[in-house]
Structure 1
Amino acid sequence: MCLGVPALVTDVSDGMATVETAGVVRQVSSLLLPGLQLGEWVLVHAGFAMQTIDQQAVTEILTVYQGWAESGS
């Protein structure tokens, strides 16, 4: 199974985006999302910002991940 991790875009420059999730900051490719803007949420997988998502989706995804962590799944 492959998982996308929600991340907040904090910088975009030259085909790369700086994103933050759960206090972790990293660089990912933004080439798949031309026009990506600061403050947008994205799903990150394998070093790529794969798609933009809204705040409701972020909340739902993180709730599921938290449930998995608590259940040991």
Structure 2
Amino acid sequence: MCLAVPARVESLDAAASSAIVNLDGIRKAISTQLLDEVAIGDYVLVHVGYALERIDPDEAEKTLLLFDELKAIEP
């Protein structure tokens, strides 16, 4: 099973086909080579350092809220 997580694009480097994304305060460089188009502020699904697709901001927020709920559950 694979897991892709939504992350918000904070900056782009078009020459390197890369972006810096933010996921819950963690900033990470990812490749955008698999996407035709991406802009600052977009949400993308990230898997092993690659943006797989752009996603709807509302759906991204719903997923991120679910992650927050999971973090709040005490083991």
What is the rounded CA distance, in whole Å, between the counterparts of 2:57 and 2:38 in structure 1?
16
What is the rounded CA distance, in whole Å, between the counterparts of 2:50 and 2:32 in structure 1?
6
Name the counterpart of 1:34: 36
TM-score by length of 2: 0.81
Name the counterpart of 1:7: 7
What is the rounded CA distance, in whole Å, between the counterparts of 1:5 and 1:29 in structure 2?
14
Give the C-alpha shift of residue 35 in structure 1.
2.1
What is the rounded CA distance, in whole Å, between the counterparts of 1:58 and 1:52 in structure 2?
10
The alignment covers a number of residue pairs equal to: 73
Percentage of identical aligned residues: 32
After superposing on structure 2, the runs of 4+ consecutive aligned residues of structure 1 that deviate more than 2 Å are 63-72
State the secondary structure of the residue aligned to 1:38. coil
Moved more, 10-19 or 61-70: 61-70
RMSD: 1.7
Contact 2:12 2:40 in 1 (8 A): yes
Give the C-alpha shift of residue 18 in structure 1.
0.7
TM-score by length of 1: 0.83
Structure 2 spans left out of the alignment, 5+ residues: none
Structure 1 spans left out of the alignment, 5+ residues: none
